[in-house]
Structure 1
Amino acid sequence: MSIRRRYADCRDGQIHLREAGDPANPTICFFHQTASSGVMFEKVMARLDDRYHCISLDSPGFGQSYQPGEIPDMRFVADRLMEAIDDLGISTFHACGHHTGGCAAVEMPRAYPDRLESLTLIGPVLVNEEEKAEYRKTFVRPFEAEASGEFLMTAWKYLELIGAASSVDLHCREMADHLTARDTMPMAFSAVWNQDVEGAFRSVDIPLHIMCSKDDVLWPLFERAGEMRPDAKQSIVGGSDFQPDRDPEGVAKALGEFIEGLA
């Protein structure tokens, strides 16, 4: 697989992205979790690029995309990403969002009718109001930087807790992404806790696919998502909170079978 790295324009700056596959094939756009970047989908893209045109975008404030002054809500993220997709000349696509990336992607079907052909959510973030209140206590500014550098070990241990320590390369890569997003990570988390994600999820009127691993921190919310939308195709994969890195074969297989089943 040959990964092409490039930029696309949105109204506020440039969105960095990775691209693989023939643009003549159906497009899948991938949206990453906080505080990762589009690199997390490279192994999945490698397993799909013979059949699909794969685009993995860095959200505003993450990876190598521009740094916004604020992230007021998830619609803001969805709009900037869609502007970048427009700049690439892509009219319709299949969307696949992981954790926070799914929170952005789930805003797209009603905001941009007829643009998405399907929606896949890996680890749907279907938190209720009580859970949001608890998450706000920790995940608004989880790694407050101080001169001593103690926050570096806090971040390293957090990444270990959610599964990034399966390899040194993954752990270091995610650490670097977290440092890049030190200012925007709390903005993104705040936008998630303020989102009416249930309303957006219930309103999805295109083919819907939910995916998770049993050791993902959001596994209980996956079960909730299935109860809310029994019409959604459900797939269980491995890989803790890093399914595209740790179980790329399972993710690519589930995603490919879902899309191919729509034909």
Structure 2
Amino acid sequence: MAGLAIRKAYADTRHGQVHYRYALPSSPVAPPREVLVFLHKSASSSASYEKLMTHYATRGHPCFAPDMPGFGGSFDPSPEAIKQIETKGMRWYVNLVVGIFKQFLASYSNGSGGTSSIHIIGHHAGAALATEMAAVYPALVKSVCLVGPSILSAGDRARMKEKYLKPFNRPVSDGSHLLKTWNYLRDMGIGGGSGSESGCDKGDDDLGLHQREAIDHIRAWKGRNQIYGAIWRQDGARYLRLIQCPVMAMCARDDTLWPYFENVQKVREDVSMVEVKGANFTLDRDVEGIIREWSTFILDTL
């Protein structure tokens, strides 16, 4: 891994600046590898993908991971943009991400090739984004990996909206929202889940992960609700049916979306279904599991 660094940059959009992380191979690879796009969950940021980006960049893949608007270092949607999100739903995020991704390619491909199509991995909200992106940009997307997909019925979406579409950690003067955020993440499995089911050893990294996610969730208290509103209006099953490229779905048994995981295969019998570990934080808590399964899946699409 010597010489490899995950770098940060900004892309301009008509609504504001989008912050992203990227990693490029430290030396040319022949033949050039395809670009990997990493889409984070709510209310995390592209920081959640650093371990996976490091792994794949060292193996020759250019890697690109944006912070969604309202998350990480990206802009907060203006009232005008919020109205567009309410009207267009996830398509607003899809078109914005594709636009900044094309800026990334123009700046960093350097004629290296291997950029005519991409492999996408999306986690939770990122999986909803990846599903629609693959459906509406079929020429761009070569494969999709959905970690914790939310393929829900209209009734399930309404119930999830009632449960999660609340600004639970709106800033308050006594600072109690900070502890609410910390405890919320603990209850969501930030420490690796309960007992041995998570399959992950607790160690010194737990506190660092908890701290990183707390900071991201505190920052994104508004962006979280904006993208959730778009997700609960999205007919994920419809977009999943429209995808033309190979699809893999992953979920941990202690993930909040596990009860809906089998819906993916009910919609598409050809989807590769994989059980991983790590509750709602698989990207950090089961890196090896994702790499093992996703690497094989990507190779099978070549």
Q: Which stretch of the first structure deviates more once superposed, 83-92 or 52-61?
A: 83-92
Are 2:220 and 1:212 equivalent residues in the alignment?
no
> What residue number does 1:21 align with?
24
Q: Give me the identity figure in percent.
A: 34
> What residue number does 1:189 align with?
228
- Residues 48-87 of structure 1 mapped to structure 2, 5 A cutoff: 48-49=56-57, 50-69=59-78, 70=82, 71-72=85-86, 73-87=89-103
Superposition TM-score, scaled by structure 1 size: 0.94
Do the aligned residues in 1 keep the contact of 2:20 with 2:46 (CA within 8 Å)?
Answer: yes
CA-atom RMSD in angstroms: 1.6
Are 2:293 and 1:254 equivalent residues in the alignment?
yes
Taking a change above 3 Å as real, the CA distance of residues 141 and 195 of structure 1, as seen in their structure-2 partners, is same
1-side partners of 2:162 and 2:261: how far apart?
22
Q: Which runs of 4+ in 1 moved over 3 A?
A: none
- Residues 1-263 of structure 1 mapped to structure 2, 5 A cutoff: 1-22=4-25, 24-49=32-57, 50-69=59-78, 70=82, 71-72=85-86, 73-89=89-105, 91-143=116-168, 144-166=170-192, 167-263=206-302
The structure with more radius of gyration: 2
1:223 Cα deviation from its structure 2 partner: 1.5
Helix, strand or coil at the partner of 1:114: coil
Do the aligned residues in 1 keep the contact of 2:71 with 2:216 (CA within 8 Å)?
Answer: yes
1-side partners of 2:266 and 2:66: how far apart?
30
1-side partners of 2:225 and 2:173: how far apart?
19
Q: For each residue in 1:14-68, what CA deviation from the matched residue of structure 2 results, as whole angstroms up to 9, or x when unmatched?
A: 2211111338421110000000000101111222221311111111111111111
What stretches of structure 2 of length at least 5 have no aligned partner? 106-114, 193-205
Helix, strand or coil at the partner of 2:191: helix
Superposition TM-score, scaled by structure 2 size: 0.83
2-side partners of 1:156 and 1:99: how far apart?
20
1-side partners of 2:144 and 2:154: how far apart?
24
